[in-house]
Amino acid sequence: MKALVFHGPGKRRWEDKPRPTLINPTDAVVRITHTTICGTDLHILKGDVPAVTEGRILGHEGVGVVEEVGEGVSNIQVGDEVLISCITSCGRCDYCKRGVYSHCRDGGWILGHLIDGTQAEYVRIPHADNSLYPLPKEMDRAAAVMLSDILPTGHEIGALNGEVTLGDTVAIVGAGPIGLAALMTSRFYSPARIIMIDPDENRLAMAKQLGATDIIAQDPIEAIEKLTGGEGVDVAMEAVGIPETFDICQRIVRAGGHIANIGVHGKSVDLRLQDLWIKNITLRTGLVNTDTIPVLMRVVESGSVEPAGLVTHRFKFNEIEKAYDIFGEAAKEQAIKMLLTVE
């Protein structure tokens, strides 16, 4: 089969790899029909995730058709069209029983990280009963792919960790796919204002279309001070993963507010504890658990949220290297989310 393979920082190649087979009774093998590229994949290629070794097939999002199931799989059948969660969960360990699937003792974020991922014609999915979700027949497959990772991440690590509530003023730093997903899902909780901060005017225009009340391209700290009368925001979400954007969040959050860090950080950040300790703020980080996929799937199926609108570029699967090149120059190419489809 063909797959996109990591060969060390800055090196990737679309090449032949052996087709995966069942290893454990709880495994399934899925034939990929749709997948995408995540900002985390770019972090891996930059060398920010050293646990990813040379020869690893990248990717942790996708939709496909079940080709094989192990004898221990009971909820998924051959021929089912399924959504692949970016998080693998056994459903039995102490972390899974607490709903912390991201730290499953035999799973978590392993696809495209510790085991081969979804940017391939076939992928092996451990603990298939808990890690695959049968898709409604009428659901747009582009929308479905967004349910693998970015929509639950924006919801769980952004809106829920930030404790967005009725009437809040929310600022999201970074209008990339994750920031826009956080915007879409924060609207579930009826904040009064959602302020999107990003230097990219194209992404800010997308944010406006998705419901941002205010957009800021320059001098965000001064702009937030003006917009809030010097009070700051109730919720500040970091959706980039660099020290500078984390620092903006620390400086714009109001007393009693919340900082929700969504971005994947490859470098240490400075924590302004000397300023924050007296402000009664809550800072939360996290890796998505994907426990909200079922409810998000119902919301998407109803048409209340249309995440397919985040797809700006579509490619055939064998054009994945071109897709990576474009996604790596997202600002220049006005790219938000790639959709790769097997034809």
What secondary structure, in 3-state letters, does the chain show?
Answer: CEEEEECCCCCEEEEECCCCCCCCCCCEEEEEEEECCCHHHHHHHHCCCCCCCCCCECCCCEEEEEEEECCCCCCCCCCCEEEECCCECCCCCHHHHCCCHHHCCCCECCECCCECCCCECEEEECCHHHHEEECCCCCCHHHHHHCCCHHHHHHHHHHHCCCCCCCCEEEEECCCHHHHHHHHHHHHHCCCEEEEECCCHHHHHHHHHCCCCEEECCCHHHHHHHHCCCCCEEEEEECCCCHHHHHHHHHHEEEEEEEEECCCCCCCCCCCHHHHHHHCCEEECCCCCCCCHHHHHHHHHHCCCCHHHHEEEEEEHHHHHHHHHHHHCHHHHCCCEEEEECC
Same domain, 12 and 95: yes
Q: Residues in the chain with pLDDT < 50?
A: none
pTM for this one?
0.95
Q: CATH no. for residue 333? A: 3.90.180.10
Q: What is the pLDDT of residue 266?
A: 82
Same domain, 9 and 135: yes
Q: What is the pLDDT of residue 250?
A: 98
Same domain, 121 and 258: no
Same domain, 53 and 113: yes
Angstrom distance (rounded) from CA 116 to CA 113 = 7
Q: What is the pLDDT of residue 48?
A: 84
Q: Which domain holds residue 260?
A: 152-284
Tokens for 164, please give them: 């967005």
Same domain, 156 and 145: no
Domain count within the chain:
2
Same domain, 295 and 245: no
The string of pLDDT tens digits covering residues 16-26 is 999 999 999 99
Same domain, 104 and 126: yes
Q: What is the pLDDT of residue 343?
A: 73
